[in-house]
Structure 1
Amino acid sequence: MVAFELAIQDGAGVDVAVRTGADRIELCSALALGGLTPSAGLIERAVGAGVPVHVLIRPRAGDFDFDADGRRMIVRDVRWACDAGAAGVVVGGTRGGRIDADLVRAVVAEAEDREVTFHRALDVVADPSGALIELAQLGVRRVLTSGGADRAADGRAGLTRLVRAAAGAIEVMAGGGVTRANVASVMATGVDAIHASAKALRAGAGLALGSAGDAAREVTDEDEAATLRRLVGRAGARP
């Protein structure tokens, strides 16, 4: 059985997740940057929708090697998200090519009984299989990974190795460029869950802000989300 997690960044995405029957929401802002910590208002909007909400805690774009101030912000935001009603949090951190075990330990303690997912920071460590076992021992519930490739469909060998290494001790969730065209091949690796954003680009009007120089924005495509939900469901949904 495979669960389906939909990554969303706004209220409209929350509604799509509800209508398409997602098992979980990964809630964030700025999906174009890989996802950043969402606002208090968006968390409040999502937790009342009836789908378990797992809040991404990532204070900045770029790499996953956070300084002491960044690590403190992550732990404080974990508490904030849990107090707001999140069912879980999604975090990641590295130090010297390994997972930042001190950060993970602090997050698990702060999250208390909420689920902790370690995100694709796993894909940049030197020994992903060893890190997987360490994360399980630290109390992390699942990892989000592309198998070390840019896209999960290109990292199937890595995903298969991680599933074998996990041996049921920790869930392996595949994410990174998952679409209706490749989801079946990704599921064939034996992963426990599929993570997708089902993004589409919507043209914007007016002033383009920031360095990207484009007023267009990414939205959750309901048809793509519904199709993914249906295809994942063929393997049996599991919340």
Structure 2
Amino acid sequence: MIKEFCAENYTDIPKAIQAGAGRIELCDNLAVGGTTPSIGVIEEALAYASEKHVPIMTMIRPRGGNFVYNDIELKIMENDLIHAKNAGTDGVVFGCLTEENEVDEEALEMLVGNSAGLLTTFHMAFDELSKEEQFKTIDWFARLGIDRILTHGGPLSTTIEENLPHLKELVDYAAGRIIILPGGGINSDNAERIASTLGVNELHGTKIVTI
């Protein structure tokens, strides 16, 4: 099973990899759900993780708050993504919505277009979509070539256990076309049970390994 450790800055990465993290989501400012780390942090994280053969997924998010971005913010995201790609990141993590809580298709196509050759994850902005919209979005993302969707299966105010039935629906519907990556409230104690319940082999969290 791949345990994706959500790392705020560089500091915990060596300990997380030693504890069994098989992939790193690299971000800054976890207090607001994670934003884009500095290029210095990205370069040092990549230098360390590449020696250990552990991929780095770099968060591309210009600020905390909602996932509705204006043209300037999208330009910042595009530039940050290109810088991370040039630095050698293995993948990128992003998400963008409209005021109506639907995927911002134009913005997403721009981000995906700049991500050629990289792994791509659409983050928990997915959980803002209606359940009906989520299934349609899985179809579209699979066609678009996005690799995985990070989802809690419901609002972050709910527990991961409450959301297991819906997460299972998403996993079953995706049917291997795209990876459903459960996250939020998954830790080293409940990871194996959740993976077994959902039939997945990738999980995400800040406590997915004990450091």
Q: Same fold (TM over 0.5)?
A: yes
SS at match of 2:11: helix
Deviations 1:200-234 (A, max 9, x none): xxxxxxxxxxxxxxxxxxxxxxxx7248xxxxxxx
When the two structures are superposed, what TM-score results if normalisation uses the length of structure 1?
A: 0.79
Q: Does the alignment pair 1:114 with 2:109?
A: no
Report the number of matched residues.
Answer: 201
Q: Quote the residue 1:48 is aligned against.
A: 47
Match of 1:225, SS state, is coil
Please give the residue correspondences for 1:187-226 in structure 2 after superposition, counting only pairs within 5 Å. 187=195, 188-198=197-207, 225-226=209-210
8 Å CA contact retained: 2:20, 2:209? no
Instruction: Give yes or no for contact 2:92–2:118 (8 Å, CA) kept in 1.
Output: yes
TM-score, normalized by length of structure 2?
0.89
- The 5-angstrom pairing of residues 1-239 of structure 1 reads 2-49=1-48, 50=50, 51-95=54-98, 96-126=100-130, 127-150=133-156, 151-187=159-195, 188-198=197-207, 225-226=209-210
- Structure 1 gap segments, 5+ residues each: 199-223, 228-239
The one-letter amino acid paired with 2:203 is I
Deviation at 1:13, TM superposition (A): 1.1
Measured after TM superposition, the shift of residue 29 of structure 1 is: 0.4
Rounded Cα–Cα distance in structure 1 between residues aligned with 2:45 and 2:29 = 16
Q: Partner letter of residue 142 of structure 2?
A: A
Q: Is the 8 A contact 1:145 1:152 kept in 2?
A: no
Partner Cα distance (2:192, 2:206) in 1: 16
Check whether the contact 1:98–1:131 (CA below 8 A) recurs between aligned residues: no
* One-letter amino acid matched to 2:141: L
Q: 1:43 to 1:115 in 2, by over 3 A?
A: same
Distance 1:79 1:142 in 2: 20
SS in 2 for 1:12: coil
In structure 2, what residue type is equivalent to 1:159?
L
- Displaced runs of 4 or more, over 4 A: none
* Deviation for aligned residue 1:11: 2.3
CA-CA distance at 1:182 after TM superposition? 2.9
Deviation at 1:185, TM superposition (A): 3.7
SS in 2 for 1:135: helix
Q: Distance in 2 between matches of 1:76 and 1:38?
A: 13
1:162-186 Cα distance to aligned partner (Å, 9 max, x none): 1011111000100012123432342
Q: CA, structure 1 residues 40+24, in 2 after alignment: closer, same or farther (shift >3 Å)?
A: same
Gaps of 5+ in 2: none
2:95–2:122 contact (8 Å) kept in structure 1: yes
Q: Counterpart of 1:142 in structure 2: which amino acid?
A: R
